[in-house]
Structure 1
Amino acid sequence: MTRKNLRNTGLAALALITTAGAPGVEAPANAAAVNGDAQALLTALDDEYRAEAIYAAVIDNHGEARPFINIIEAERHHAAMAKAEMDRLGVSYPEANPYLGTLEVPATLLGACEQGVTAEIENIALYDRLLPTIEDDSVRETLSKLQWASRERHLPAFERCVARGGTMGQGGMGFGRGSH
């Protein structure tokens, strides 16, 4: 089945996927591809939720410190982008972030920035694994944008924070609120 046909039949396929295995119901031929894209989106949303929760905990512990106050807004936007794709495909997902208030963070801003560097490197690698599996062009575009933001915006911001020894930045360079 072509990507165009997959895109045009995605909602119907997902509706059938939820009933596949029921007596007399068979999954459509493209169910595995649609289900794979759905799983990739759920994985991406989970990663965005974790990042938001970590950055929220840093803000709770250290106040409105950059780059956390800027990047948390981007993570929320990224989650909304993943949710929009899942809405388009008819995929269920947790509306609320299950990680908020449950994650511990380093005691220092420097430690938190170092953790941010590691998290963004892992996020980039996650998308490196997910993107080759994506069948739907719109899902691929969305996940590519999320990876780009991690590589080109978030990782450099955390690297700058580490280079400053964990002291708050002064903003500038176009990396302010809503940078994604």
Structure 2
Amino acid sequence: MSENVNNALIEAINDEYKSRATYRAVINKFGEIRPFINIVAAEGRHIEALLPLFVKYNVAIPIDDWDSRIKTPATILEACQLGVADEIENAQMYDRLLELTIGYPDIQAVLKQLQRASKENHLPAFQRCVERGGRGQQNRRGQCCK
């Protein structure tokens, strides 16, 4: 396996670690609000989807130290705006990583799945949050928080 493919896997999982840590920090500061509560769980699933590739290709799994590296946004609106920016960057990162992993259909399948979730699910959820002025939704139907 090429160094590019090795680095692509490491970059992908580190990006997922970073996103999960960011959304955890938001939840810790503001409570269990959507879209963060839903997306933090999805980020965990994304990490789980990547792990078998590390095993298959004998790549050392990086330590997740992102919880200590994240600066929590000051407001929910800032958190939602950060979510929009992060998901746009995430989709662009996957475009680049897909180029690096040509010839590895199993890796590409996972990367495409993660990119699709980012573009079609996470990004629109954060955009709606921004449109609401950062008023996240409690993790109960119909209740909003400030």
Q: TM-score, normalised by structure 2?
A: 0.89
Deviation at 1:170, TM superposition (A): 6.5
Give the residue type in structure 2 aligned to 1:132: E
Deviation at 1:169, TM superposition (A): 3.0
1:83 maps onto 2:63 in alignment:
no
1:40 maps onto 2:18 in alignment:
no
Give, in whole Å, the separation in 2 of the partners of 1:73 and 1:170. 15
1:11 equivalent in structure 2: none
Give, in whole Å, the separation in 2 of the partners of 1:157 and 1:170. 14
Aligned 8 A contact 2:77 2:129 in 1: yes
1:125 equivalent in structure 2: 92
What is the aligned-residue RMSD (CA, Å)?
1.6
Deviation at 1:82, TM superposition (A): 1.1
Post-superposition, which runs of at least 4 consecutive aligned residues in structure 1 deviate over 2 A? 169-172
1:165 maps onto 2:109 in alignment:
no
2:143 equivalent in structure 1: none
Extract unaligned runs of 5+ from structure 1.
1-30, 173-180
Give, in whole Å, the separation in 2 of the partners of 1:66 and 1:84. 29
1:100 aligned counterpart, secondary structure: helix
Identity among equivalent pairs (%)? 42
1:114 equivalent in structure 2: 81
Extract unaligned runs of 5+ from structure 2.
141-146
Q: Which has the larger radius of gyration?
A: 1
Give the residue type in structure 2 aligned to 1:142: V
Deviation at 1:168, TM superposition (A): 1.8
> Could you say which structure has the higher helix fraction?
2
Aligned 8 A contact 2:37 2:139 in 1: no
Give, in whole Å, the separation in 2 of the partners of 1:37 and 1:143. 12
Aligned 8 A contact 2:23 2:40 in 1: yes
Deviation at 1:171, TM superposition (A): 7.2
Superposed, which structure 2 residues align to 1:20-169 within 5 Å? 31-32=1-2, 35-94=3-62, 96-134=63-101, 135-169=103-137
The alpha-carbon distance between structure 1 residues 170 and 62, as it changes in their structure 2 partners (threshold 3 A), is closer
Q: TM-score, normalised by structure 1?
A: 0.73
Give, in whole Å, the separation in 2 of the partners of 1:103 and 1:36. 27
